[in-house]
Amino acid sequence: DPFLTSTFCPAAKYSDETQEENVRILCFAMLAEMQEASAVPMVVDFLRSRDSRKVAWAIWASSSKRLGEQVPGPILEALKADPDPRLANDALECLEETENVASIEVYEWILAQKFKQDLRLKTIQSLAAFDNPNTVRALEKLFDDADPVIVSRAAELMDKFPNSKPAVLEVLKRALGSESSQLRQAAVRIMDSLKDLPGLETALGNADVPVAVEAAVALSARKLKEELGSIQPGPLKGRMESLVGKVTDPAEIDRLGRAMVPFVTATDRERYASLYEKANQTERLVYIRLLGATAGLAKLRTDETARADFDAIRDRFVDALSTATEAQRPIYEEALHHIT
């Protein structure tokens, strides 16, 4: 309303000069309610004031029903001029009220500053409110952050943007090449939650063995649920078998063995028995489990010849168990269960 604008704008200026803050705030509120652009600089002024009452009014005025469409740009300029963490924190409160996608740029700027972790985590949470490809790309930039907590939080949120799935999958694909094993494994877990089977298939061939094992575990769960789609289980099993000789941690190789079980067929018995004979003590953790699986599938426990084969393997495994460390023993003993 031109009359109201011409009335309240001079009143706001006058009250500022006379320090009649109540009058000024009232005028500001009227202008904000009318979505008048002349109130936007006052939002910034109120934020800069560090006065809790004025800040509260600035947050109120930034609502999407009032000045939400107009304030992100001026707030960003104010932050660039005064990169103060308290101002940034108050700005977050305003931006959350705007529900304006233009706020993403402001959040991205705040995250690029050397603010404390709690403020940056709060900013990430505000950013995640927008299911938008720009949000996904902004989070990806944090994958190289020096703070592992920030990296972890950014990665964890990647499955929260159903409307931006193509952008997310591209980011996860690039994350598999990250220097951080933690990030690569997180990418695999998110691929699994998004049912990105081609991504999991790619991750199975990752040079980082723990990442490949993580992919094997995810694909195994999909096989149990019959959710592999057009992916053939045979080649997957072969690629998992190729990992056996690369895993050195007994706990990891036990995970791999468990992952391979759904892919086992009754005809694998002789081959796994042969591989068992050639394997080292750690690798045998996988083959003892797989042999147990073939026994169950073929009902070989009632076959005297096959039973003798299994008993011979079991006896050798028990002998090898004597050299296991205390940490390894529970895993070996659990694996032995599959052949007894």
Question: What are the pLDDT tens digits along the chain (340 aa)?
Answer: 443 444 444 444 444 444 577 888 888 889 999 999 999 999 999 999 988 889 999 999 999 999 999 999 999 999 999 999 999 999 999 999 999 999 999 999 999 999 999 999 999 999 999 999 999 999 999 999 999 999 999 999 999 999 999 999 999 999 999 988 889 999 999 999 999 999 999 999 999 999 999 999 999 999 999 999 889 999 999 999 999 999 988 788 889 988 999 998 878 878 888 888 788 878 877 887 887 777 666 554 455 665 666 666 666 666 666 666 676 666 666 656 655 5
At residue 3, the pLDDT reads 38
pTM of the model: 0.75
Q: What distances in angstroms separate CA 286 from CA 173, 174, 237, 254, 301, one per listed residue? A: 29, 31, 13, 6, 19
The answer to whether 117 and 147 have CB atoms below 8 angstroms apart is yes
Instruction: Tell me the two tokens of residue 248.
Output: 């050195």
The answer to whether 52 and 84 have CB atoms below 8 angstroms apart is no
Give the three-class secondary structure for 20. coil
CA separation for the pair 44, 55 (Å, rounded):
9
CA separation for the pair 105, 51 (Å, rounded):
26
CA separation for the pair 141, 133 (Å, rounded):
13
At residue 16, the pLDDT reads 46
CA separation for the pair 139, 142 (Å, rounded):
5
- CA 76, distance to chain mean position in Å, is 27
Block residue for tokens 């073939």: 294
CA separation for the pair 93, 212 (Å, rounded):
42
Cβ neighbours of residue 329 closer than 8 Å, sequence gap 6 or more: 321
CA separation for the pair 29, 46 (Å, rounded):
12
Block residue for tokens 């296991």: 324
At residue 288, the pLDDT reads 78
The answer to whether 90 and 55 have CB atoms below 8 angstroms apart is yes
